[in-house]
Amino acid sequence: MRMVDVADVTRNIKEMCIEANHFLAEDMDEAMRHALQEEKAPLGKQILCQLQDNLKIAGEDMIPICQDTGMAVIFMEIGQDVHFTGGSLEEAVNEGVRQGYVEGYLRKSVVGDPLIRENTKDNTPAVIHYEMVAGDSVKITVAPKGFGSENMSRVFMLKPADGIEGVKNAILTAVKDAGPNACPPMVVGVGIGGTFEKCALMAKKALTRPVNEHSEIPYVKELEEELLLKINDTGIGPGGLGGTTTALAVNINTYPTHIAGLPVAVNICCHVNRHAVRLL
Amino acid sequence: MERHIQAPINKEEAAVLRAGDYVYISGTIYTARDAAHKRMYETLAQGGELPLEMENNVIYYMGPSPAREGRPIGSAGPTTASRMDKYAPDLLDLGLIGMIGKGKRSQAVKEAIVRNGAVYFAAVGGAGALLSKSITKSEVIAYDDLGTEAIRKLEVKDFPVIVVIDSEGTDLYETVMSK
């Protein structure tokens, strides 16, 4: 058994909230530079150029890449041989978010009740997903999610008869409806299978997979490639102002499902697609 | 076409702007997003007075991140405009000349834009650090309790936007998708 002090969790999450809001992850940085080279439309190129300038200013002057610094979504993959000491893990995670958002000059975008809508003033609570895995390490993924793109995300409860064409249509529908609202070039996270909530969670987690890595399942990899081409054919382009770069990647995760169902979730993310990963 | 324009903007100046124009705005604009719009809407419904004049003014749909010491503002990019669609027609009918945001607008907003000779601009979504450099001054003028959603008066210099819906109702987003 390995002991992990929850104070280490707090410190790391604080740093990761600040890091993810000022610097792109390496995979996203590379994808954005590549997009600028590949974009065909002049206005699209100009927008991608502005986004490069924006990233430079964000990192040099420590101004968040986007003013929507997101609701903190945190994946905790916990080795089953880990024992946490020093207090409540959930409180430690939220304390990390609190410190990161208050000390890091990040926007506080969370309301304590969805209908009463009073701001909690420290961006807590986070949305935390725990997963027990083999081993004795703790993998933390901090993925603050902006709501311009979150609002354009969808769950489709398809029928088995809808098949792969139904899945493609669902993804394209979600992307076209999102259009300029989701701050393209976007990253499209997709979950196929499982249950209603499982496919949504898979779609969210798919957004944290590096955009230069495909699914290990051959037909899913092909589906990712085909959909990326189709999405970039829509003409939506950077900022929704026209162009050949509408998405940087389509990341699809799958899971077994019920004989009667074909759930599909499409979680759309903007071109910042914040994610920071650390292993404790 | 590239243009430079001074805010507040009068109707004659707004009328020459065309969907697709790249415009640099200098002068004074105001911020308001979801909560401030809801409050203004309720104020109007009760016959109260709005905290700012609408006539010839531009509202930027934006809630900034906190400013570091010595800076006028933090990250300051546009938020999704469609959430303000419920409130925008009334403000346009009161003389609001321009809105800056990102994303599609409803038919009712488009009609109010045409009816009043107004214009809808998009700033680049997710370019909040860059856009903050065109804001030289920021002052909360109303609804301070709303935090990032308070109404701010901004002084801007060459703030870069693109005309998405012009005073004739041409919508750049639709033009792009139908190509």
pLDDT tens per residue across all 280 residues of chain A: 999 999 999 999 999 999 999 999 999 999 999 999 999 999 999 999 999 999 999 999 999 999 999 999 999 999 999 999 999 999 999 999 999 999 999 999 999 999 999 999 999 999 999 999 999 999 999 999 999 999 999 999 999 999 999 999 999 999 999 999 999 999 999 999 999 999 999 999 999 999 999 999 999 999 999 999 999 999 999 999 999 999 999 999 999 999 999 999 999 999 999 999 999 9
Q: Do residue A151 and residue B103 have CB atoms under 8 angstroms apart?
A: no
Name the residue of chain A whose CA is nearest to B35's CA. Answer: A117
Domain boundary among A119, A144, A169: A144
Given CB atoms, is A241 within the 8 Å cutoff of chain B?
A: yes
Pair A182, A148: CB distance under 8 Å: yes
| C-alpha–C-alpha distance, residues B58 and B36, integer Å | 15
> Are A123 and A212 part of one and the same domain?
no
Q: Which residue from A minimizes the CA distance to B19?
A: A241
Q: Which of A144, A161, A188 is the last residue of a domain?
A: A144
Query: HSE of B12 in the Cβ direction (CA atoms, 13 Å)?
Result: 0
Residues A85 and A189 in one domain: no
What is the domain extent for residue B53?
2-178
Give the nearest partner residue to B65 out of A54, A106, A270, using CB atoms.
A106
- d(Cα B64, Cα A67) in Å, to the nearest integer? 5
Chain A stretch 62-101, residues whose beta carbon is closer than 8 A to a beta carbon of chain B: 62-69
Give CA–CA dist B169/B179, Å, rounded.
Answer: 18
Q: Which of B75, B104, B176 sits opposite A66 (nearest CB)?
A: B75
- Residue B175 is predicted with a pLDDT of 86
Pairing of strands B58-60, B22-31: parallel
With respect to residue A220, please indicate whether it lies within any of the assigned structural domains. yes
Where do the H-state alpha helices sit in chain A?
Answer: 6-22, 26-38, 42-61, 89-103, 147-150, 163-178, 196-206, 218-232
Identify the CATH number of the domain in which residue B48 sits.
3.20.130.10
Shared domain for A122 and A197, answered yes or no, is no
Rg over CA atoms, chain B: 15
Which string of DSSP letters, residue by residue, matches A193-253?
EE-HHHHHHHHHHHTTS-TT---SSHHHHHHHHHHHHHHHTS---GGGSS-S-SEEEEEEE
User: How far is Cα A208 from Cα A175, in angstroms, rounded to an integer?
Assistant: 18
Both tokens of A59, joined, read 């990192």
Provide the number of structural domains found in chain A. 2
Cross-chain Cβ contact B148/A109 below 8 Å? yes
Q: A201 in a domain, yes or no?
A: yes
Query: Does the residue A33 lie in any domain?
Result: no
How close, in Å, is residue B175 to chain A by CA atoms? 9
pLDDT at residue number B179:
57
Which of A116, A144, A172 is the last residue before a domain boundary? Answer: A144
Q: Which residue, A70, A36, A60, is CA-closest to A50?
A: A36
Q: What span, in angstroms and rounded, lies between the C-alpha atoms of A9 and A93?
A: 6
Looking at the structure, tell me whether residues A106 and A230 fall in a common domain.
Answer: no
Same domain, residue pair A226 and A257: yes
- pLDDT of residue B178 exceeding 90, the answer is no
Residue linked to tokens 């509408």: A246
Q: Domain range holding A80?
A: 2-19+66-144
Are residues A105 and B128, on separate chains, in Cβ contact within 8 Å?
no
Residue of A22, A66, A67, A147 best to disrupt the B interface, most CBs of B under 10 A: A67
Predicted pLDDT of residue A250? 98
Local structure of residue B84 (DSSP, 8 states): G
Write the CATH number for A74: 3.30.360
Supply the ipTM of this predicted assembly: 0.92
pTM listed for this prediction: 0.94
Contact residues on chain A for B172, CB-CB shorter than 8 A: 241-242
| Chain B residues within an 8 Å CB radius of A271 | 126
Query: Closest Cα of chain B to A64: distance in Å?
Result: 6
